[in-house]
Amino acid sequence: MTTWTQVYDPAGSALLSALLAGIPLIALFYMLAVRRAKGHHAALVAVVLSAALAIGVWGMPVGIAVNSFLFGAAFGLFPIIWIVVTAVWVYNMTVESGEFEHLKQSLASLTDDRRLQAIFIAFAFGAFLEGTAGFGTPVAITAAMLVGLGFKPLYAAGVCLIANTAPVAFGAIGVPIIVAGQVSGFSDMTISAIVGRQLPFMSVIVPLWLCILMCGFKRAMEVLPAIAVAGICFAGSQFLFSNFPGPTLPDIMSALITLVGLIILLRVWKPSRIWRFENEDEAGTSSASAEKISTSVVLRAWTPYIILAVMVFLWGLPQFKDGFLNKIPGAVLSFGWPGLDGLVVKTAPIVAADSKYGARFVFNWLSAGGTAILLAGLLSVRFMPGYTFGKAFRCFARTVVQLRFPIVTIAMILGLAYLMNYSGMSSTLGIAFTMTGGLFPLFAPLLGWLGVFLTGSDTSSNALFCGMQRNTAEVVGMYPELAVAANSSGGVTGKMISPQSISVATAATNMVGQEGNLFRFALPHSLAMTVCICVLTWLQSGPLRWMLP
């Protein structure tokens, strides 16, 4: 088949072309934030507009446009949807078996306070899951857990989305940083060290941010010791592990150290007043009144999540994943996507010399994160009294039905992202940022933010823009390693408003159809955090240059 070369300035003006390329994203914002449309409705509008622009303005052949969308949709189904479905299934099984009630009681024995529960689960435990699995797993599991504990669904989803920021750059055993290094040609240790000198400033304030969001500044100060312990433990550990061992361990070790620190704190300190949401019954809210259950029952209740954590940790280890699982015959099926692989040509200024844009679909069914969660769920069945494999399989089928709309939404959103990538529309938007010249350090994180909004993944955003970040930084005189790191750091603040992440959160909290409300809830926090990263990057490119390695 005939190849097609990307065009990056179809309107003859970089600014006008960027405005045209932004129409699908503007429509997505409008549908979610203003119209409060359902996620799959908003995604459909954005896909139709993107396809019309790609074919009518960028000149993309119809067949290539269709296949780029289908390629992205397939990636949305696997591995993204595979992770979401299995994660929610494990939670649903714990609810059906009654074990989640014991899990809630065990948390209540530590504290009944909703502020502390949010810090424990959304921030610390969510960071552990981000470090081991990533790709939607933390939000899917922690949001479902908070709803099960009695949180309002909107707050459960919103709190988990906001908490899942600072850990994102080092998620899935450091994959985003490793990809940034591969794409940019810099050492991933250098990028890890720079990101580790940016995100800890955010990590230290996220627990406070969550508490103020839930109950206001005055009530947040009532749990200041817990906020301080969580923020300092996580930020300090994140700095140390990102700068010395490298990008693989910051999330996991920071989360574990934070959890241990909080448990030790609660042995010697308790909040003076227990805080719950306004519509909750205040009777019997003291943690001392929580029903006492035996250690064996507590351990059994947590077993599914302990097994899950161990499995996703193993699956995330390169030595186990690539050295063992992927070497099993038939474990990895890879093929060039028909009608797309090698048919799109990238050209200057995106690449130095014309090169074909590959499109290989990798079906690594055994080493996928969702498979680790599936096996964890099957292993957990034996630890659920009265629960059988038959019930587990029926629960799985019900979970798929429960998630039918998020499945469609995520598939369309990834299809949109890939269509914009292969058409060159994403690159058009990126090129527009290079026009900022000496102000580029302020805007470099916005590229990462945009990339994560588009794809829902800091890894994908780094793959999309880190090469361009290096080239642009070298042109405008910015320290290029900082620009590459800023792409990852800026990307984490876009995670909470990515349609993919919002779809995961609404599915986990039974809020399907309310994606617009959740988007409006998270948007101000995303913008505020993004501004912080932008200002910090600008300062580190100038007066605070001494902070960098």
Distances in Å between the alpha carbon of 158 and those of 95, 133, 430, 514, 522? 22, 20, 29, 12, 6
What number of other Cβ atoms are within 10 A of residue 35's Cβ? 13
Question: What pLDDT is attached to residue 280?
Answer: 67
Quote the CA–CA distance of 237 and 256 in Å, as a whole number. 10
Question: What pLDDT is attached to residue 129?
Answer: 78
Question: What pLDDT is attached to residue 435?
Answer: 80
* 355, 346 contact by CB (below 8 A): yes
**Residue range 190-229, pLDDT digits in tens:** 999 999 999 999 999 999 999 999 989 999 999 999 999 9
Question: What pLDDT is attached to residue 511?
Answer: 83
Q: Residue ranges of the chain with pLDDT lower than 70?
A: 33, 107-108, 132-135, 173, 183, 280-292, 316, 455, 463-464, 471
- Can you state the angle between helices 137-149 and 153-163, rounded to 10 degrees? 140
> What sign for the dihedral angle of Cα 381, 387, 390, 394?
negative
Question: What pLDDT is attached to residue 252?
Answer: 81
**Residue range 242-260, pLDDT digits in tens:** 988 778 778 888 988 998 9
